[in-house]
């Protein structure tokens, strides 16, 4: 009788436009997968590139006088690509000792800024007071692990020094 040991996706979720592989391990018959995948071999991976979340069904059928089948399903979840709309400094040039605000605007993922800032929320500014000129990197990562980055540099100028008080 046909038997399916496993039917798995190498990755889920995946980012829109990317692919993953499906692998079925089965015995006692020939295997096929729906959604235009077709015939499959036990233990051999097949590549799929769904444009939206898709459930695949592996069907294993034997050739006995009274045919028997076994089925298993796996769902590949497709998530959108992370997008950074903007990453700006309130002032990109400041005087040492002052601060400015970095404002990230992004979607389809979670945002994080380096240099010890950490997690950020889209549209919510974060105050920074770099002691020297610093480039900050915003990374936005979607649930599939795909990411995109953007940078902003804050230039820090020395405070003017008063050398004499001649009245």
CA 87, distance to chain mean position in Å, is 18
Does the pLDDT of residue 164 top 80, yes or no?
Answer: no
Q: What is the pLDDT of residues 132-143, one digit of tens each?
A: 999 999 999 999
- Confidence at residue 167, expressed as pLDDT on a 0 to 100 scale: 67
User: DSSP assignment, residue 36?
Assistant: T
Q: What is the mean pLDDT of residues 39-63?
A: 96
- Confidence at residue 3, expressed as pLDDT on a 0 to 100 scale: 94
Q: What is the pLDDT of residues 141-162, one digit of tens each?
A: 999 999 999 999 999 998 887 7
CB atoms inside a 10 Å sphere around CB 84 = 20
The Cβ-side half-sphere exposure at 54, using a 13 Å CA radius, reads: 21
Cα–Cα nearest to 76, from 32, 144, 17, 14: 14
Percent of the chain at pLDDT above 90?
90
What does the mean pLDDT of the chain come to? 95
- Confidence at residue 161, expressed as pLDDT on a 0 to 100 scale: 78
Q: What is the pLDDT of residues 98-120, one digit of tens each?
A: 999 999 999 999 999 999 999 99
């Amino acid at each position: 009788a046909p038997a399916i040991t496993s039917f798995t996706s190498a990755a889920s979720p995946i980012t829109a436009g990317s692919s993953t592989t499906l692998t079925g391990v089965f015995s006692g018959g020939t295997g096929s997968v729906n959604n235009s995948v077709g015939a499959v071999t036990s233990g051999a991976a097949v590549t799929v590139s769904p444009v939206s979340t898709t459930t695949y069904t592996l069907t294993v059928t034997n050739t006995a006088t009274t045919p028997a089948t076994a089925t298993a399903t796996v769902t590949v979840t497709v998530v959108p690509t992370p997008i950074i709309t903007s990453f700006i400094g309130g002032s990109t040039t400041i005087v040492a000792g002052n601060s400015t605000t970095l404002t990230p605007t992004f979607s389809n993922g979670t945002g994080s800024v380096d240099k010890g800032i950490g997690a950020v929320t889209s549209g919510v500014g974060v105050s920074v007071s770099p002691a020297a000129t610093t480039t900050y990197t915003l990374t936005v990562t979607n649930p599939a692990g795909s990411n995109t980055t953007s940078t902003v540099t804050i230039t820090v100028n020395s405070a003017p020094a008063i050398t004499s008080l001649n009245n």
